[in-house]
A and B are shown apart, each in its own frame.
Chain A
C-alpha cells in the first residue's frame, strides 16, 4: 500500500511540475511572440497597435537620413509595392545598406513611423533575411496569394 501511495505522490509531483512549466510557457508565449508583417500590411493597418512586431523588406535606395548631432536614423523599408518609414536610434549592423534586405523590430509610433528598437541584417553579403524576401515576393504577386511553403523557403 505504501509503495503505491508513494508512486501516486511521485506522479502527482511530476504532473505539478509539468503543469507549472506549461503555465510558464503559455504566459511567456502570449507576451513574447513577435509577429512579422510586410510593409503592405503595415500600410493597410493590419498590424497590432499595442505590441511590438517585425517588419521587413528592402532599405529603399537613397532614403537613409541621419539626424545631425544624434544617432537617430530614418529610412524607408519597401516590399516594392508599399513603403514604411522607420526611425531607429543606435548603431546599425555592419551589413545594413541601402538596397539590401533588413528586418526591424519595434512598434508603430503616433507619427505614423515605425519606431525600431532593433535592426537586424545578417552576416553575409548575399544573404537576404527570409522575412524580407517573402515580403517582397508576396507584394509582387499581389495581396491575394499568400506565399506557398515552397516559395517562402526558396532562397
Chain B
C-alpha cells in the first residue's frame, strides 16, 4: 500500500509540475496575475508530493519491504538502519527520486524567499523549475519507477553494494545533489531574464545568494566524496580524475566562474550576457554529469543503469534543455546587453581573467572526460585518459588564476593602478617568495613544483590577510569590533573562501610532493620503516560485524621508542553478497596521516601467516578537505549578508505568521 501511495504521489506531482511549468509562463506573457499566482502554490504542492513519494520509498527501505523490487535488489534486513535509509538513494531509481526531491525543495525555497521579486520574474523562475521537474518526473514514471513491485516476494534482499555501506553514503549524495540541483535556481533566473529581456543589478542580487548556496553545497559534496574514496577504496588517493569525479567537478568550475561573474554583474552591471551563459552552462553540466553517471555510459561504482532506453531518454532531455536554452540565449542575449566599461587593469578585468581561465580549465576537463567516449563510439579503439593528462593541463591553467586571486580583491573597480597594487601587495609577495624558497627545506627536500605550490598558497593567504588588514586600518570607526563590523559578511565570506583555496593548495602540494606509498610483505611481528616511522604487524584476529565478518589486523606505529598509533585495518566479507571490502585504518593529524590497509595473505599458512600490507604516509592531506570546508563556509557566510538577510528575516516572519494564523 505504501509503495502505491508513493507511486500515486509521483503521478500527481507530475501533473502539478505541468501546471507549474505552463500556466505561470502563459500568465507572465499575458500579464495575467491570476495565472502567475498559480506558481507559488504549485511549487509548494509539488515539493510536498515528491517528499511524500520519497518518504514512502524510504519507509519501504527502512521496513525492508522486499515486495518492492528496488528494495529487494539494494537492501537486506541485516543492514544497519542508517544504511537501510541511505539505500533509498543507493539505486538508479532512488537517486533520481532524490534529485526530484532536491529540485522540489529548491522550488519550495524559492517560493518562500521570493516575495520581493517582481511577480512576472517570480512566476517565470518557478515555471522554469516546474518544466525541469516535468522532465525528471516523467523519466522516473516512464523508465525508472522506484516503486515497482516484485512477484513472488523474495524472503531476503540482495544487499546494498558493500562499497556503499559507509557513513559517506549517508551524507555525500544528498550534499552533492543539493549543489547540482541548486544550480537549477540560477538557471531558472537566467532563463526568466532572457525571456523578459530585463537583466540588471537587482536581478543579479536576487540570483546571487541562490548560486552561492548551491555552490557551497556542491563544494561540501565533492569534498565528502573525495574523503570517502580516500579511506574506502584503499588506494589512499583523494582525487583520481575519474570521469565520475569530473562530472561533479565541471559544474563546480562553471559555478565558481558564475559566482564571480555575478559579483561583477551586481556591482558594475557588466558581464551580463556572459553571466547568463554561465548560469545555463552550470546547470547544463549538472545535467550532463547526471547523464554521464547514471546512464551507464561510464562504468564505475556510480553507474547503475544498463537500460539503453534510459540513456536515450536522458540524452533527449539534455538536448531539449541545453539546446532550448542556448537557442533562447542566441535570440535574446542581445536584449540583455553587455554592460559597463572598464580599464585593462581593474577588478573587472581580473575577474574576467579568472572566468576565462576557469572556463578553459573546464573545457580541458570536459575534453579529457568525453574524448574516450567519442573514440569508443566512433569505433576507433578503446583508450583511457589518465590523471597525467589532467595534471599537466589543469595545474598550468590554475597557476595564473591563483595569482589573480591575490590581486583581484584588492584592485579597485573600473580602473586600478599597478604601482598602487604593488604597494598594497608588496608584503604578500615577499612572504610568498620566502615561503616558496624556504618552506620546502622544512619538509626535507627542495622540489621546484613544491616551491611553486607553496608560493601560490602563501601568496593567496598573504594577499587575503593584506586585504583584511588594509580594510580595517582604513575604516573610520574606532575599536577593532566596530572596524570589523564595518565590512559586509559577503566580503568576509570571500576572504574565508580564498583562505580555503590557500589551505587547499598547500595540502595538495605537500601531499603530492612528499607522500610515501609502500606495498610490503609483513610477517607477524615484522616491522618496516616508512617515512621515519616503524610499522610493526601484530597479526590478524577475526571479528564479526552486524552484517559482515571482518579480519582485523593490528599495526603498531612507533617512532624510536615513542608510540605513535595503533592502526586496525580490516578486510570485510559481507555475508549477504559475499563481497570483499578493504577498510583502511587512518591516524589523522594536522601534519598528515598514517594510513594502513590490508592486501591479502601471501603465504600458504593463510590468514595467520604473512600479509601484503599497504602503508602510506600522507603529509598535510587533511588540509585539502579543510580548505574545501573553508570555501563552503565562506559561501554560507556571504549569504548572511545584510542585504539578503533583511529580506530573509522578513520572509520567514511572514511565512511563520501565516502558518500560525492557519493553525489557530
- Which A residues contact B (CB, under 8 angstroms)? 3, 6, 9-10, 14, 17-18, 20-21, 24-25, 27-29, 31-36, 54, 66, 68-71, 89-92, 94-95, 122-125, 127, 129-131, 134, 146-149, 152-153, 155
* In the assembled complex, B316 has its CB within 8 A of some CB on chain A: no
Q: Are B383 and A36 in contact (CB under 8 A)?
A: yes
> Given A9-B344, A24-B397, A149-B379, is A69 in contact with B357 using a C-beta cutoff of 8 Å?
no
The size bracket of the interface on B is: 35 or more
* CB atoms of B301 and A28 under 8 A apart: no
- B163 an interface residue at 8 Å Cβ cutoff? yes
- Give A25 to B392 CA distance when docked, in angstroms: 8
Q: Offer 23 A-B interface pairs, CB within 8 angstroms, sorted by A.
A: A10-B352, A24-B392, A24-B393, A25-B364, A28-B388, A28-B389, A29-B371, A32-B385, A33-B383, A33-B384, A35-B381, A35-B383, A36-B381, A36-B382, A66-B602, A71-B519, A90-B612, A92-B599, A123-B161, A129-B299, A131-B382, A153-B308, A155-B299
Cβ of A35: which chain B residues have Cβ within 8 Å of it? 381-383
A91-B519 contact, Cβ under 8 Å, with A24-B396, A152-B376: yes
Contact between A94 and B382, CB atoms less than 8 A apart: no
Which of B's residues lie within 8 Å of A, judged by CB?
161, 163, 234, 299-301, 306, 308, 341, 344, 352, 356-357, 360, 363-364, 367, 371, 376-377, 379, 381-386, 388-389, 392-393, 396-397, 519-521, 577-582, 597, 599-600, 602-603, 612, 614
B651 CB to nearest A CB, Å:
41
Chain B residues, CB < 8 A from A34: 383-386
Central interface residue in B364, B367, B384, B603, by most chain A CB within 10 Å = B384
A118's nearest neighbour on chain B, judged by CB, is B386
A18 proximity list for chain B (CB < 8 A): 360
B377, closest chain A residue (CB): A149
Inter-chain contact A32/B344, CB cutoff 8 Å: no
Which of A36, A123, A130, A131 has the most C-beta atoms of chain B within 10 angstroms of its own C-beta? A123
B164 to chain A, nearest CB (A): 9
Interface-central residue, A10, A25, A127, A155, by most chain B CB under 10 Å: A25
Docked-complex contact A21 and B397, CB < 8 angstroms? yes
Q: Which single residue of chain B is at the shortest CB-CB distance from A17?
A: B356
Q: A91-B612, A152-B376 are in contact. Are A124 and B364 (CB under 8 A)?
A: no
The residue in chain B whose Cβ has the minimal distance to the Cβ of A6 is B344
A75 to B381, alpha carbons, bound, how many Å? 25
List A contacts of B603 (CB < 8 A). Answer: 68
Assess the A94–B580 pair: CB atoms within 8 A: yes
> A35 to nearest B CB, angstroms?
5
Return chain B residues, CB-CB under 8 Å to A124. Answer: 161, 301
Given A21-B363, A32-B388, residue A3 in contact with residue B341 (CB < 8 A):
yes
| Contacts A21-B363, A54-B384, A149-B379 supplied; 6 other A-B pairs, CB < 8 Å | A3-B341, A27-B392, A31-B392, A71-B519, A90-B612, A125-B578
Shortest beta-carbon distance, A44 to chain B, in Å?
15
Task: Using A94-B580, A124-B301, A125-B579 as known contacts, say yes or no to A71 and B521 having CB atoms under 8 A apart.
Answer: yes
C-alpha spacing A138/B600, complex, angstroms = 33
A122, B614: Cβ atoms closer than 8 Å? no
Bound: A70/B301 CA distance, A = 31
A32 with B381: CB separation less than 8 A: no
In angstroms, Cα B581 to Cα A60, docked, is 23
Q: How far is the CA of A122 from the CA of B367 in the complex (A)?
A: 24
Residues from chain B with a CB closer than 8 A to the CB of A146 are 379
- Are A25 and B393 interface neighbours, CB within 8 A? yes
- Closest-CB distance, A17 to chain B (whole angstroms): 6
Give CA–CA (A54, B382) in the complex, Å. Answer: 9
CB pair A31 B388 closer than 8 Å: yes
In the complex the two chains form, is A123's CB within 8 Å of B163's CB? yes
Q: Which residues of B contact A152 (CB under 8 A)?
A: 376, 379
Q: Which residues of B contact A155 (CB under 8 A)?
A: 299, 306
Name the A residues within 8 Å of B600 (CB-CB): 91-92
Selected contact of A24 from candidates B364, B383, B577, CB within 8 Å: B364
Closest CB in chain A relative to B168 CB, distance in Å? 14
Contact B382 A134 (CB under 8 A): yes
Q: Within the assembled complex, what's the spacing in Å between the Cα atoms of A6 and B346? A: 13
Q: In the assembled complex, how far is the CB of residue B613 from the closest CB belonging to chain A, in whole angstroms?
A: 8
Residues of chain B within 8 A (CB-CB) of A95 are 580
Contact B385 A33 (CB under 8 A): yes
Verify B602–A71 contact, CB threshold 8 A: yes
Q: Which of B300, B341, B385, B397 contacts A122 (CB under 8 A)?
A: B300
